[in-house]
Amino acid sequence: MKLFDTHAHINDNRFDNDRADMIQSCFDAGVEYIMIPGVDRGTVESGVALAEAYPNLYAAAGTHPHESKDFTDADYEYYKELALHHGKVRAIGEIGLDYYYDFSDRDTQKRVFVRQLELARDVDLPIIIHDRDAHGAIMDILRNEGKGNWGIFHCYSGSWDMAKELIKMGYYISFAGPVVFPKSTSLKEVARQVPLDRILIETDSPYLTPPPFRGRRNDPSKTQFVAEEIAVLKGMDANEFAAIAYENGKRVFGIE
């Protein structure tokens, strides 16, 4: 199966002891491309370094809502420079709102999200959105202050109505391990309905490990289980579905 993991934090320190072996085993398992999102300046630097070391790894530059309290003008300029001049940086992300953990206060999260929307428009790159328990606030911001933005809703957890609106606005809907969990009945229904040309798959490694590996560290080879689950939901062959999601990943990140 040919796979594109469109969201994996393989620069995370949980991979420090075996990163090269882990990456090679993912390539051996059929993963051809991996997008490494940033969460702050340090992880953008380490993601970019990995993307420089491997032809089929790509990176995104952005500050996660958790870290938005530490976002500076220097970070903005650094991301902008990468976005304009570094060939392996293909998105602004991950950015958004997290009202579950509230690690940064909500006004700060919103301000930093809006600034990075502006950055993405400036440099003409897609965004990677993180949305946890903040559907309404994110949709309001995208409607009012995100005109001209487009990109990816990562680890989607909203309704089908919200997905429909996002698709009209130019977004791709990305599914991770939670779509495999047996109890995720409404999410499975959303995945069944998202049109094939707007669907992406990811692992969010090292988090969100799908069954049958729950409790263990996640890695990009597990993209396969997300592909297999959605293929069943859509009544398709798994290889055929994986190939479509793979092409979507190449298209959204502008990979030739």
* Piece of 103-111, 156-164, 202-210, 215-223 that binds Zn ion (CB under 5 A): 202-210
CA-based nearest residue to 31, from 210, 220, 236, 245? 220
Residues 10-69 touching Zn ion, rule: CB under 5 A, are: none
Question: Binding segment for Zn ion among 84-92, 156-164, 189-197, 198-206 (CB under 5 A)?
Answer: 198-206
What is the spatial distance between Cα 102 and Cα 214, in angstroms, rounded to a whole number?
A: 25
Angstrom distance (rounded) from CA 142 to CA 137: 9
Asked if residue 112 lies in contact with residue 63, where contact means CB atoms within 8 angstroms, the answer is yes
Residue 75, CB-side half-sphere exposure with 13 Å CA sphere: 23
Cβ closer to Zn ion: 117 or 231? 117
Min. distance of Cβ 239 from Zn ion in angstroms? Answer: 26
Minimum separation from the CB atom of position 198 to Zn ion (A): 20
CA separation for the pair 116, 63 (Å, rounded) = 8
Q: Smallest gap, in angstroms, from Cβ of residue 240 to Zn ion? A: 27
Residue 75 or 204 with smaller CB distance to Zn ion: 204
Select 26 or 231, whichever has its Cβ closest to Zn ion: 26
Say how many residues touch Zn ion, by CB under 5 A: 1
In angstroms, give the least distance from the CB of 130 to Zn ion. 6
Per-residue binding letters, 213-242, with Zn ion (x by CB under 5 A): ------------------------------
Distance between CA atoms of residues 163 and 7, nearest Å: 19
Nearest approach, Cβ of 9 to Zn ion (angstroms)? 6
Q: Please, which of residues 167-186 interact with Zn ion by CB under 5 A? A: none
Q: Which stretch in 14-22, 68-76, 116-124, 200-208 sits in contact with Zn ion by CB under 5 A? A: 200-208
Which span (53-61, 109-117, 135-143, 196-204) binds Zn ion, by CB under 5 A? 196-204
CB-based contacts of 221: which residues, under 8 Å, 6+ apart? 25, 26, 29, 30, 31
Task: State which residue, 103 or 148, has the beta carbon closest to Zn ion.
Answer: 103
Give the C-alpha separation, 89 to 118, whole Å. Answer: 17
Q: What is the DSSP string of 2-19?
A: -EEES-B-TTSGGGTTTH
What whole-number distance in Å separates Cα of residue 41 and Cα of residue 71? Answer: 9
Q: Give the shortest CB-137-to-Zn ion separation in angstroms.
A: 19
Tell me the closest approach of the beta carbon of residue 203 to Zn ion, in angstroms.
Answer: 10
Q: Which amino acid is at 113?
A: F
Binding residues vs Zn ion (CB under 5 A): 204
